[in-house]
Amino acid sequence: MNYQRPVIVMARSFPPSIEAGGSVVLRNLFGRIDPRDFVVVAGNLPPQDPVTRLNVPTAVVDIFPARYIYSRFGFLFVPIVCMVAVLFALRYRPRHILALYPFDFFAIAAYWVACLLCLPYSIYLHDVWEEAQKSSIQKKIARLFEPRLVRQAKHVFVISDALREHFKKKYGVECIVVRHPIPFHIFLPKVRYDGASKNLYHIVYTGNVSQLNCDTVRNLIDSGRHIRDIPIQIDFCTAQTSAELARWLGITKKDRVTIQTVSSAEIPYIQQNADLLFVGISFELNAMTANTVFPTKFTEYLCAGKPIIVHAPADSFLARFVREHECAYLVEKPDMERLCQAIVDLLSKPQLATHYARKAVETAQYFEDRRQVHILADALGMRLIEDGMAESARA
């Protein structure tokens, strides 16, 4: 194994940034790969959690002002990312470049750097590309670059079977599925539901709220306002500020809702001590996005051993996955009354809640991190490290 020539990983959001769910996936993947075998080019995005930092050489691209990464002009960062990556590559002499999407300007920059340095590159897609763009400029850029990046990549990794089907149909390429990896030595999958009655039940949501799920989260808050017979509280554990989230979701002081910022190290404990866990996919998304998106937090929820409510369109990939594995209570219409009934059913019927908790833990095995990391590492010729070494690599 030649550790003198690492793989360059290029991603807009990479630990310690926890700005996006994709960074959680990358932390779990690369936390198991020998730190001598890769280096990173990433954006300087807040919020950041030092607990997730990986001890590897990193070139930071100063993205300022940060709001432009979400605009139609994000592609203007491509030359800056290319310059930083080329200078970094001249220092470390990489053997391969791994591009991460979403955010197109990092993926496009990785493609150009690979061309300039005559290096092989691969791409790891966490989402659809062209179909997810809203502005005409973004769509034109996607139409120009997506076929090149996908067809010319040595390996095309995708994060779900739905994305594999999408890119296979669109470009005829064989994609490699690397699912959300869950570190079992941290999340410890087992049934923790005990059916005990309580004076207050906690419905927990961990992670950020975005356009991908905001309407379903609002439905959850409305449900809390209408359920009177069972004492419930909705707990948000997120990197977003409480003022920002309360304003966006219309949360008032009268609502039985808490919002707290927690470190990544606390997330498993919070999920494992919830009474119910909630995840949603927006009913307002275009069909293509709904059919391929798969929330990072859901795989963590499966390990918690508690009943999960999934509020998502019936034809979404998440809903199809839940129906296939029976691992959560599915509410597949944007109906607040049905969501209320789901909450009442799971809190008042221990046998039903136990069934879903048990099936969730069984389903978690699909995402065991060593299995998923092996897929990526074998394709890229990278070496894995064991649990103890993985922990020290994070320090």
What's at 91, amino acid-wise? R
Q: What is the mean pLDDT of the chain?
A: 91
Long-range CB pairs of 157-162 (<8 Å, 24+ gap) are: 157/122, 157/123, 157/124, 157/125, 157/376, 157/379, 158/124, 158/125, 158/126, 159/25, 159/124, 159/125, 159/126, 159/294, 160/292, 160/294, 160/317, 161/317, 162/291, 162/292, 162/294, 162/317
DSSP of 17-84? B-SSHHHHHHHHHHTTB-GGGEEEEEE-PSPB-GGG---S-EEEE--SSGGGGGSTTGGGGHHHHHHH
Whether the predicted pLDDT of 345 surpasses 60: yes
What pLDDT is stored for residue 286 in this prediction? 86
Among 196, 191, 201, 263, smallest CA distance to 235 is for 201
What pLDDT is stored for residue 72 in this prediction? 64
pLDDT: which is higher, 17 or 310:
310
What pLDDT is stored for residue 119 in this prediction? 97
- Taking residues 2-13, what's their average pLDDT? 85
Domain count, the chain: 2
Residue 159 sits in the same domain as residue 207: no
Label residue 68 by pLDDT band (50, 70, 90). Answer: low
Residue 125 sits in the same domain as residue 218: no
What pLDDT is stored for residue 1 in this prediction? 47
- Taking residues 366-377, what's their average pLDDT? 95
Domain contains 163? yes
* Boundaries of domain holding 117: 7-181+368-394
Residue 383 sits in the same domain as residue 304: no
What DSSP designation does 207 have? S
Domain contains 207? yes
Instruction: Using DSSP, state whether 239 is helix, strand or coil.
Output: coil
Domain contains 165? yes
Choose the weakest-confidence range: 77-81, 115-119, 350-354, 389-393. 389-393
pLDDT: which is higher, 58 or 137:
58
Q: Is 164 exposed, middle or buried (0-12, 13-18, 19+ CB in 10 A)?
A: buried
Whether the predicted pLDDT of 391 surpasses 70: no
Euclidean distance between the first and final Cα of the chain, in Å?
24
* CB contact at 8 A, 333 and 310: no
Residue 173 sits in the same domain as residue 197: no
- Taking residues 346-358, what's their average pLDDT? 97
Residue 37 sits in the same domain as residue 131: yes
Domain contains 2? no
Residue 26 sits in the same domain as residue 116: yes
Residue 140 sits in the same domain as residue 260: no
Whether the predicted pLDDT of 394 surpasses 60: no
Domain contains 86? yes
Domain contains 192? yes
Domain contains 1? no
Whether the predicted pLDDT of 168 surpasses 80: yes
Residue 243 sits in the same domain as residue 351: yes
Label residue 3 by pLDDT band (50, 70, 90). Answer: low
Tokens of 27: 């932390």
Residue 199 sits in the same domain as residue 85: no
What pLDDT is stored for residue 102 in this prediction? 84
Q: Is 169 exposed, middle or buried (0-12, 13-18, 19+ CB in 10 A)?
A: exposed
Residue 342 sits in the same domain as residue 221: yes
What pLDDT is stored for residue 281 in this prediction? 96
Could you give the CA distance from residue 105 to residue 316 in angstroms, rounded to a whole number? Answer: 27
Label residue 163 by pLDDT band (50, 70, 90). Answer: very high
Q: What angle do CA 104, 88, 100 make, to 5 degrees?
A: 25
Residue 125 sits in the same domain as residue 223: no
pLDDT tens per residue across span 183-242: 999 999 999 999 999 999 999 999 889 889 999 999 999 999 999 999 999 999 988 889
Whether the predicted pLDDT of 15 surpasses 70: yes
Whether the predicted pLDDT of 359 surpasses 70: yes
Query: What CATH number does residue 40 fall under?
Result: 3.40.50.2000
Label residue 132 by pLDDT band (50, 70, 90). Answer: confident
What pLDDT is stored for residue 138 in this prediction? 86
Percent of the chain's residues with pLDDT above 90: 75
Residue 220 sits in the same domain as residue 264: yes
